[in-house]
Amino acid sequence: MTALAPGSTIGIMGGGQLGRMLSLAAAQLGLKCHIYSDVPGGACDVAAASTIGPYEDVDKVRAFAASVDVVTYEFENVPLQAAAAAEAVAPVRPGPKALAVAQDRLEEKTFISALGIPVAPFAAVDSSSAFETALATIGHAGILKTRRLGYDGKGQVRIRSAAELAPAFDALQRAPSVLEGLVPFAYEVSVLVVRAVSGEVRFYDIPLNTHKDGILDTSTVPSPLPAAHATRATDIAGAIAAALDYVGVLGVEMFYLPDAPEPLVVNEIAPRVHNSGHWTMDACLVSQFENHIRAVADWPLGPTGRHADVTMTNLIGDDAARWHAFAAEPNAAVHLYGKPEPRPGRKMGHVNRLRKRS
């Protein structure tokens, strides 16, 4: 496939805020979007077409894929059967391999480790018979995380002693899990890499991320990460993207341990545009959303440079009620996702606050 001409249609699986912002970016390039989602609204409100159905409906997904020029997705839990059905009739970018790896914490950590890239110590906990080995490998303090479907701090329980492992496993409904060792990190950063069909990669500047209640709170660029370590961080993200033969934007979260022999430890990867890259919408000429669309449409990648320092702050739940105050700030851009109910923990929008470039 060569570059998709303007007027072509990008199929996006997922109708949340990431799909919505991808659609807005595609529209700017004269590309149409067709959203496949299990609920209406959201991205569907800004797309030329939408199909509403369960992600498990392989026939519906195939018909959707047949009506578009390329398929991408905005969340990593697209069922692999659906991705395979789509791939039978249209290019799927990033490919199903990235999905398979990112959907399963055990596979993800195994894959990344095999590249020689540090991850937190981990051990599979598929049943209670695995407890002893896991504790022997990891120690008695760690985080038990379900292998699948965890996000924003969901599907994970902190354990502080060996005795807490069994109740933690019960709390996760004995779903196949991974016990992760604690990493004594100074802070978390993330690398946003965009990779083209040609294999060309470009990196945005690396944000420093902070969390509240297990959910991303802020991403700030520049981060205090020393230049040599920033280079190491982009090398790591580039190696993962290459190993996945990835196309599009990939988010790679990393813990930073300044004094460790391996100062960067990969926490997890997201095979999609990433919340910690939302600042690119206002501090860069070409945002992560546009670059993802450019990559999956096989367009030339856009510049990833940045013209301002910026802090992105997520608006979670009732935070969004203060939209009027945010809109009145002199150096802020307000982004609201059009979600009707501000439920606790729900991402309702974000604010990018710009500062002169340091």
Q: Which is nearer to a copy of itself, 132 or 318 (CB)?
A: 318
Rounded least distance, CB 221 to a copy of itself, Å: 15
Residue 222: cis peptide before it, omega within 30 degrees of 0:
yes
180 forms part of the interface with a copy of itself (CB under 8 A): no
Task: Compute the distance between CA of residue 321 and CA of residue 341 in angstroms, rounded to an integer.
Answer: 11
* Binding test (CB under 8 A) with a copy of itself, winner from 87, 164, 323, 346: 323
Residues 4-23: x where in contact with a copy of itself by CB under 8 A, - otherwise, as a string: -xxx------------x--x
Of 89-108, which residues contact a copy of itself (CB under 8 A)?
A: none
36 forms part of the interface with a copy of itself (CB under 8 A): no
Contact present, 28 and 286 (Cβ < 8 Å): no
Task: Compute the distance between CA of residue 177 and CA of residue 165 in angstroms, rounded to an integer.
Answer: 11
Total residues contacting a copy of itself (rule CB under 8 A)? 45
Question: Tokens 């450019």 identify what position?
Answer: 294
Q: Rounded to 5 degrees, what angle do the CA atoms 108, 61, 247 make?
A: 45
* Binding test (CB under 8 A) with a copy of itself, winner from 46, 112, 201, 264: 46
Rounded least distance, CB 168 to a copy of itself, Å: 38
Rounded least distance, CB 261 to a copy of itself, Å: 38
Q: Which residues pair with 216 in a beta bridge?
A: 211
Task: Compute the distance between CA of residue 320 and CA of residue 326 in angstroms, rounded to an integer.
Answer: 9
Going by C-alpha positions, the residue among 115, 51, 104, 41 that lies closest to residue 341 is: 41
141 forms part of the interface with a copy of itself (CB under 8 A): no
Q: Rounded to 5 degrees, what angle do the CA atoms 71, 284, 78 make?
A: 25
Q: Which is nearer to a copy of itself, 112 or 281 (CB)?
A: 281
User: Which range of residues in 53-61, 129-137, 203-211, 322-330 is near a copy of itself by CB under 8 A?
Assistant: 322-330
Q: Which is nearer to a copy of itself, 25 or 189 (CB)?
A: 25
Residues 333-352: x where in contact with a copy of itself by CB under 8 A, - otherwise, as a string: xxxxxxxx--------x---
SS3 per residue for 227-242 = HHHHHHHHHHHHHHHH
Task: Compute the distance between CA of residue 288 and CA of residue 296 in angstroms, rounded to an integer.
Answer: 12
Question: Tokens 């991403």 identify what position?
Answer: 219
Task: Enter the tokens of residue 293.
Answer: 């669309």
Amino acid code (one letter) for 286? V
Of 230-269, which residues contact a copy of itself (CB under 8 A)?
A: none
Of 265-294, which residues contact a copy of itself (CB under 8 A)?
A: 282, 285-286, 294
User: Which range of residues in 179-187, 222-230, 247-255, 303-311 is near a copy of itself by CB under 8 A?
Assistant: 303-311
199 forms part of the interface with a copy of itself (CB under 8 A): no
Rounded least distance, CB 6 to a copy of itself, Å: 5
Sign of CA dihedral 343, 345, 349, 355: positive
Q: Which residues pair with 51 in a beta bridge?
A: 36
| Residues forming the site for a copy of itself (CB under 8 A) | 3, 5-7, 20, 23-24, 27-32, 45-48, 282, 285-286, 294, 299-300, 302-303, 307-308, 320, 323-324, 327-328, 330-340, 349, 354
